[in-house]
A and B are shown apart, each in its own frame.
Chain A
Amino acid sequence: MSALKIKKGTSRHSAYDLRDPHAEAPETHTLAVLVDNEAGVLARVIGLFSGRGYNIDSLTVAEVDHTGHTSRITIVTTGTPSIIEQIKAQLGRIVPVHEVHDLTVEGRSVERELALFKVAGEGDKRVEALRLADIFRANVVDSTLGSFVFEITGTPEKVDAFADLMRPLGLVEVARTGVAALSRGAQG
């Protein structure tokens, strides 16, 4: 990659804003949204995306504070930089939303996804599936004489790569959780 090929939207911490407002290429961002865990809050978030025509690439939600009843929604979305800004501003407007973080621009973050893969096969294919699972550090969580269920954790790209490899080896079904993400370092 040449030095000038800076990923759009990531230049916030550089001395110069290198983004060209007229050349709006879509970008993928990971947003962490802290909300009150009350009835309908997920519908509000999803309704905002569908009502205004924004994309949801993946979405995960769970209560993260059982005493304060707050949930963390992690949304991976794709849009032009101005659309991404709108999405964040619109999310911030929802009354039960406390905080909106764009993990893609707020410094470095870790993103992980958990997936379960059911792979059926016999003979060499079965052996090869098990070998590849070992390379990917996937665990076997169920096995029969003709099938495995693998559990794998990693970035969405790693999960995609594992899926590509399993497909010719007898992939039956995949279940993915979507992305959970946190910023790196000590700060919350």
Chain B
Amino acid sequence: MQKAMTGAKMVVQALKDQGVEVVFGYPGGAVLPIYDEIFQQNEIRHVLVRHEQGAVHAAEGYARATGKPGVCLVTSGPGATNAVTGLTDALMDSIPIVVLTGQVPTFMIGNDAFQEADTVGITRPCTKHNWLVKETERLSDVIHQAFHVATAGRPGPVLVDIPKDVQFASAGYTPKQKARTTHYQPKVKGDLDRITELAELMAKAERPILYTGGGVINSGPAASQLLRELAEETGFPVTSTLMGLGAYPASGKQWLGMLGMHGLYEANLAMHGCDLMINIGARFDDRITGRLQDFSPRSKKAHIDIDPSSINKVIHVDIPIVGDVAHVLEDLLHVWKAQGRKVNREGLAKWWAQIEDWRAVDCLKFEQTGRTIKPQHALARLEALTRDHPDRYICTEVGQHQMWAAQYMGFDAPNRWMTSGGLGTMGYGFPASIGVQMAHPDALVINVAGEASWLMNMQEMGTAVQYRLPVKQFILNNERLGMVRQWQELLHGERYSHSWSEALPDFVKLAEAFGAKGIHCADPDTLDEAIMEMLAYDGPVIFDCLVEKHENCFPMIPSGEPHNKMLLGEASTLDAIGAKGAVLV
């Protein structure tokens, strides 16, 4: 006989059974019974955020830094609606999170009760799956299923909506092992015939490229290891999307840097000129492809993805392989070795010579001149001073600083880089850094931010201080919405419509008001010293780094243009974006 307990107790028990250690949440009327159970135990730590959006991003940061699902607990109505941005963010970036929401009691649902919202209706399109649990007997089973769905196949956010009367009522508890196994079992093994076909093409290729993405990270550490093995075995060049940084080490010889709209020259031209493109866990996002008709026109394309709907969605591929990256790469390496395949050495040598020519352009070069800190310089210094830290995690907000961080910071391991890729959520990075630091209390966690993004979830300073999380908020402050400003310059005749703030806070005083440390730096000569001071401080720091206000982010593929039409700097920007490109984002 299953042990009987209240729904609220069941929630806590199910979380324990799932190995949950941390819950990010915010209490309210409809989740009070669950909070009462949390109060009466010590195994699960609860982190009180200052806004539900912060809870979800923190859970995302936790999930990305650990590979385990992140968990949130919020109340009904506004608690649930505030979680929507985070859910959408996690859906776009395939991050496994489980959000538990309180709901008004079942007998009041549909009556426009206080703090009632149609949570499952609102979150249906922004979750992988969601459940409204109307019977306590189903509750523990559903929570176990929720963890399964969030983590199986292509990961994603799930939500369980729990009415208050269901939390109070008692029923038998279903342990994890006895939970109803759902039919949801995505295929992880790739088709061997296709894999063999790919191995054949790899042996013939003269200009191959490995185009990797977040799927490698999501597949787990083994996938990154296998990717490195594959690169080592073949000598193929490797590039990655924003989401996949760290899967292949930035210090590796074959690393071309990030590709895409603000990717590196050599990476984008190699994508354009290759004859075999092997997409491993990426999804041909519009930030990557540019103009579709001219995307890598002369290549055969293979695509490894666990989600069948990703294949042929944007770009038609020649060899589709549906499966988990680690499983497919393992089979691919096995086939490659078993058949004694060798790469086309001569072709590959010419290809690398061509790539070296592109590399010689040195597309990220900049000059730190004058008395104002260039944002690139700030990040290059931050990188130089933290690169050798044994346990470093970098989060970002969204905008120019995010692209510069991706360009100037290097990642040698997966799960060390948390950024909002698909949705582009300003306000993501700070709460995400809190989630990362909760998972790794002794690590160095830095959030590279712009002042505008950072202000969007600045209330989480309270959380950082309360839980003594020594997160470093490295703000590149240009007093502008830098990326918006850049587009207005390039596209809208330099009419800077509402893209600056005339009422920014004094970040040092702001930090002090929260009980944290504030550092201000505007002088290139004292930058290193200031960064060292930030690193040395044992506690949360807001680092206000005043930077050049009108710096643009290059290289850049203008909207509506192909990879080989990159802009390398200011001189090339005149009329770079045509009328067709202007409608794109």
Enumerate chain A interface residues (CB-CB to B < 8 A).
Answer: 21, 39-40, 43-44, 47, 51, 82, 85-86, 89-90, 92-96, 98
Contacts and interface: CB of A to CB of B under 8 A. Distances in A.
A47 B124 contact: yes
Given A40-B120, A43-B121, A95 B149 contact: yes
Nearest to B148: A95
Given A51-B125, A95-B128, A95-B129, A90 B309 contact: yes
Please give me the 4 A-B residue pairs with the lowest Cβ-Cβ distance, nearest first.
A89-B309, A95-B129, A89-B308, A90-B309
B107 interface: no
Interface string B126-139: 00111010000000
B311 A89 contact: yes
Interface in B125-166: 125, 128-130, 132, 149
A168 B419 CA distance: 64
Nearest to A91: B309
B124 A85 contact: no
A21 B129 CA distance: 33
B182 interface: yes
A95 B184 contact: yes
A44 B308 CA distance: 18
Contact of A92 (B125, B132, B149, B309): B309
A39 B128 CA distance: 15
Given A21-B316, A93-B307, A95-B184, 19 more contacts: A39-B132, A40-B120, A40-B121, A40-B124, A43-B124, A47-B124, A82-B312, A82-B316, A85-B312, A86-B309, A86-B313, A89-B308, A89-B309, A89-B311, A89-B313, A90-B309, A92-B308, A92-B309, A98-B183
A40 B131 CA distance: 9
Interface string B70-104: 00000000000000000000000000000000000
A95 B182 contact: yes
A147 B579 CA distance: 60
A44 B182 contact: no
Contacts of A92: 308-309
Interface string B166-193: 0000000000000000111000000000
A47 B126 CA distance: 11
A83 to B, nearest CB: 10
A27 B121 CA distance: 31
Contacts of B316: 21, 82
A47 B125 contact: yes
Nearest to B316: A21
Nearest to A39: B132
Contacts of B130: 40
Contacts of A94: 129
Most buried by B among A51, A93, A98: A93
Nearest to B149: A95
Nearest to B311: A89
B335 to A, nearest CB: 26
Contacts of B125: 47, 51
A100 to B, nearest CB: 10
Contacts of A43: 121, 124
28 contacts: A21-B316, A39-B132, A40-B120, A40-B121, A40-B124, A40-B130, A43-B121, A44-B124, A47-B124, A51-B125, A82-B316, A85-B312, A86-B309, A86-B312, A86-B313, A89-B308, A89-B309, A89-B313, A90-B309, A92-B308, A93-B307, A93-B308, A93-B309, A94-B129, A95-B149, A95-B182, A95-B184, A98-B183
